[in-house]
């Protein structure tokens, strides 16, 4: 029991740090990762090719962040549902912010990737919850 409480404390901290990091990366006027990897604020690293009309990087980002939320809040489904609403909201707001941030551009494919990552995690969580019953 003590080990589980301790793990949840670290998962909660990891979720909050991950969330804060994603907010910083999205709101910075340029690509921090491009600067770190390529020495160029205008270059965006690409993990894999994009899928049809959605950005794979954005899909992976919100899929991972949502998965961390599921691990962290799986013992409190009501709170987890609120977290999913928050993640959906922030995935939209952060991409819309690119309309006004210098050196950033709003891309519909990125917005669809953000939302899809959250929705996939939500659906997988609901399937797991249904199977577990």
* Domain spans in the chain, listed from the N-terminal domain onward: 2-132
Report H helices in 28-50.
32-38
pTM (2 d.p.): 0.85
Q: Is the pLDDT of residue 48 over 70?
A: yes
- Alpha-carbon distance of 13 to 16, in angstroms, equals 5
Question: Any bridge partners for residue 51, and if so which?
Answer: 54
User: Cβ distance 30 to 91 under 8 Å?
Assistant: no
Residues 64 and 121: their CA atoms lie apart, in Å, by 8
More confident residue, 42 or 10: 10
The whole-number pLDDT of residue 123 equals 94
Q: Is the pLDDT of residue 5 over 70?
A: no
C-alpha to C-alpha distance for 83 and 69, rounded to whole angstroms: 7
Average pLDDT over residues 21-31: 89
Summarised one tens digit per residue, pLDDT across range 118-131 is: 999 999 988 988 88
3-state SS, residue 28: coil
In contact, 90 and 62? CB cutoff 8 Å? no
């Amino acid at each position: 029991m003590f080990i589980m409480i301790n793990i949840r404390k670290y998962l909660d901290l990891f979720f909050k740090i991950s969330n804060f990091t994603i907010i910083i990366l999205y709101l910075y006027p340029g690509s921090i990762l491009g600067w770190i990897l390529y020495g160029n604020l205008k270059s965006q690293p690409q993990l894999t090719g994009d899928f049809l009309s959605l950005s794979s990087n954005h899909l992976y980002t919100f899929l991972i962040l949502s998965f961390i939320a599921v691990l962290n809040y799986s013992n409190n489904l009501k709170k987890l549902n609120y977290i999913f609403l928050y993640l959906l909201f922030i995935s939209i707001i952060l991409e819309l912010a690119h309309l006004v941030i210098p050196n950033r551009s709003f891309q519909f494919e990125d917005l669809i990737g953000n939302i899809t990552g959250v929705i996939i995690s939500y659906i997988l969580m609901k399937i797991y919850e249904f199977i577990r019953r």
